[in-house]
Chains A and B, each alone.
Chain A
Amino acid sequence: MTAFALTGPASLRRAIAIAKPSALPGFGITFGFALAYLSLIVLIPLSLLVWRASGLGLGGLLGIATQPRVRAALETSFYLSFAAAALNAVFGLVIAWVLTRYTFPGRALIDAMVDLPFALPTAVAGIALAALYAPNGWVGFWLDAWFGLKVAFTPLGIFVALTFIGLPFVVRTVQPVIAELDREIEEASATLGASRFQTIARVILPTLVPAILTGFALAFARAVGEYGSVIFIAGNMPFVSEIAPLLIIVQLEEFNYAGATAIATIMLALSFATLFAINLTQAWSRRRLGHG
């Protein structure tokens, strides 16, 4: 694009050039490469999905979306993903704080453990969680005996699995920001008479909000699409503990490709809307921090 623009007359060049003239060369090649790559890996598969679903028409899509079983599965998926990401935002923040601010024996070990949910095959995680939280499992038995709480094969089990896989996202996005927090702003707050609690609430947390939101969005996105770890612990009862990705598989197994694409498209639209909203909030909070 710019290569062409450079050869044209000035007025034409101004009209065509996408990027502002810059001393840093390479816009044309990097932009072209990024676009080609993104198209191949992301845009084309997704547009194919939308194209396949468009055969149903908007009415058909809505019809499928409002089917009670589909609706229930979508609600299970999105609500629980949201809840799990919210829980991760809180505990991920605490873990990131402890790992960055304090030195203690075994810190490097714990730091490495945070990434395990990334590395473990999700099915392995699902089976391990199911075994632990099952009514006869190590944790599940006592939860049931003490609190009458059943985790495995209930929506609570889905919540546990989604929390497990989402944790690293929050920790890893918040950690570098905490590491770069200027100790002087905490000291400034203290010299001005603020208690430690006030310093955390008024100075530290607002500074971390953009990073926490990013981590939350990533954990949420991951949880919405999660399949492997959930199906083992969920019990997969329609209307109770069935997640939307599982419903897609069920439709595929029944050769109902239109139904599967429809649910997938609805999920895509909902996910995109949620992530876009989170990104807007984030852009707004970043602007307030003067990141431009």
Chain B
Amino acid sequence: MRARTGIEAAPAAIHVEAITKAFGATAALDGIDLDIRGGELLALLGPSGSGKTTLLRVIAGLEPITSGRVLFGDEDATRLAVQRRHVGFVFQHYALFRHMTVADNIAYGLAVRPRSERPSRTDIRRRVSELLDLVRLPGLEKRYPGQLSGGQRQRVALARALAVDPKVLLLDEPFGALDAQVRRDLRRWLREIHERTGHTTIFVTHDQDEALELADRVAVLSRGRIEQVGTPDEIYDRPSSAFVAGFVGQPTRLDVVVVDGKVRLGDVTLSAAAPAVPAGPAALFVRPADIDLEAASGPRIAATVAGVRRAGAVRRIELRVADGHPPVEAEIAPGRAIARGDAVNFTLKALRLFPSH
């Protein structure tokens, strides 16, 4: 009850050290090191099966680990039971107690405390109504979860997690089960709540837009390992591995060859400058925004337009390059005259190149 006592404890930093978790022969988590700063909003981003939810559950103490350590501030929490870690966990499907009213759900974490630490009934009631105001659901105390919409349940789940004044707030796919409009609203709102309450917050998502838009920093996971940790700008602009480059920004992967320090796509030499990639086959990741159809100079790649689709403010066209390559997506202004079957030439504004493996 930080708000009531007026003592502002600094939000806890979390250190995850060399966490390994084996499921039989396969490693769900394979040597994870991660430092989460106090008060930070961090996203764990990755495809399904990357271990992001497992890592979140390890931090919460819901999942036993094979080796490694979890520290909350200076305290080693590795052997601490879930109950004593003081985390606020918001489950993907909310896991509200259906037989309890909204008020009882939110008060649960306070009501189960031992008598000596339990706030009085009036204090609990006041806290519940404060939290309902915070999550913008005032007056819904008496409702049951079954009477709420998905977005409302999500907010009750968050209020319930915040009620115990957790050291860290953990959210598993917080917007996964909601429709697009509600997701956008809740994203903005979660950012606001985070700024107001200042909790160290970790959330899991497979949606890169969500991670990049919402988080202070993003950790990209793949196959139980951390591929890259950085600010959204770093992740987007400077992907440090082929996996991240292939995952962020809806790129198309083109197989190229590096010969004599030059990058060749079929017959076209894309760059004369020596790329920091050893000679041999390499993977080039081309994002829609990388393609320039207007450039006057530079190595041009010939392509035919295989499809034109409208996507919000822009139009997306599919460009078929040489045989054997997947079609490349490009964004163009809606006004430009282009049709299926047109022959075009384009240049690349950026070369995101990684060795093939």
Contacts and interface: CB of A to CB of B under 8 A. Distances in A.
Interface of A: 182, 184-185, 187-195, 198, 202-203, 206-207, 285, 288-292
Nearest to B97: A203
Given A187-B62, A290-B147, A194 B99 contact: no
Contact of B82 (A190, A203, A285): A190
Q: Contact residue range for chain B?
A: 20 to 34
A259 B50 CA distance: 75
Contacts of A198: 112
Contacts of A192: 108-109, 112, 160-161, 163-164
Given A187-B62, A290-B145, A290-B147, A194 B83 contact: yes
B97 A193 contact: no
9 contacts: A188-B95, A190-B82, A191-B62, A195-B112, A202-B108, A207-B99, A285-B99, A290-B98, A292-B146
Contact of A191 (B89, B113, B145, B147): B89
B97 A185 contact: yes
A206 B88 CA distance: 23
A285 B350 CA distance: 63
A188 B89 contact: yes
Nearest to B99: A206
Contact of B146 (A184, A190, A290): A290
Given A191-B82, A192-B160, A193-B109, A289 B99 contact: yes
B99 A288 contact: yes
Interface of B: 60-62, 82-89, 91, 93, 95-99, 108-109, 112-113, 144-147, 160-161, 163-164
B91 A184 contact: yes
Given A202-B112, A290-B144, A191 B87 contact: yes
Given A203-B97, A290-B146, A187 B112 contact: no
A182 B93 contact: yes
A291 B98 CA distance: 9
A187 B95 contact: yes
Contacts of B96: 185, 188
A228 B262 CA distance: 93
Question: Considering residues B84, B88, B97, B109, which has the most beta carbons from chain A within 10 angstroms of its beta carbon?
Answer: B97
Nearest to B108: A192
Contact of A194 (B60, B87, B88, B108): B108
Given A184-B95, A187-B95, A193 B144 contact: no
Nearest to B92: A184
Nearest to B143: A290
A190 B109 CA distance: 9
A249 B144 CA distance: 51
Contact of A190 (B83, B99, B145, B161): B83
B147 A193 contact: no
Contacts of A207: 98-99
A73 to B, nearest CB: 40
Nearest to A291: B146
**Top 4 A-B pairs, shortest CB-CB distance:** A290-B146, A192-B109, A184-B95, A188-B95
Contacts of A285: 99
Nearest to A187: B62
B266 to A, nearest CB: 52
Given A184-B95, A191-B82, A203-B97, 13 more contacts: A182-B95, A184-B93, A188-B89, A189-B112, A191-B88, A195-B112, A202-B108, A207-B99, A288-B99, A289-B98, A290-B144, A290-B146, A292-B146
A203 B95 CA distance: 11
B144 A288 contact: yes
B91 A193 contact: no
Nearest to A190: B82
A199 to B, nearest CB: 9
Contacts of B112: 189, 192-195, 198, 202
B128 to A, nearest CB: 14
Nearest to B163: A192
Question: Considering residues B82, B85, B86, B144, which has the most beta carbons from chain A within 10 angstroms of its beta carbon?
Answer: B82
Contacts of A182: 93, 95
Contacts of A185: 95-97
Nearest to B82: A190
Contacts of A202: 97, 108, 112
Contact of B91 (A188, A194, A290, A292): A188
Contacts of A190: 62, 82-83
Nearest to A209: B99
A193 B111 CA distance: 10
Contacts of B83: 190-191, 193-195
A187 B145 contact: no
Nearest to A205: B99
B144 to A, nearest CB: 5
Nearest to A195: B83
Nearest to A286: B99
A290 B96 CA distance: 12
A187 B86 CA distance: 13
Contacts of B99: 206-207, 285, 288-289
B60 A191 contact: yes
Nearest to A206: B99
Given A184-B95, A185-B97, A289-B99, A193 B89 contact: no
A191 B160 CA distance: 11
Nearest to B63: A187
A219 B82 CA distance: 39
Nearest to B109: A192
A289 B93 contact: no
B159 to A, nearest CB: 12
Nearest to B101: A288
Contacts of A290: 98, 144-147
Contacts of B164: 192-193
Contacts of A188: 89, 91, 95-97, 160
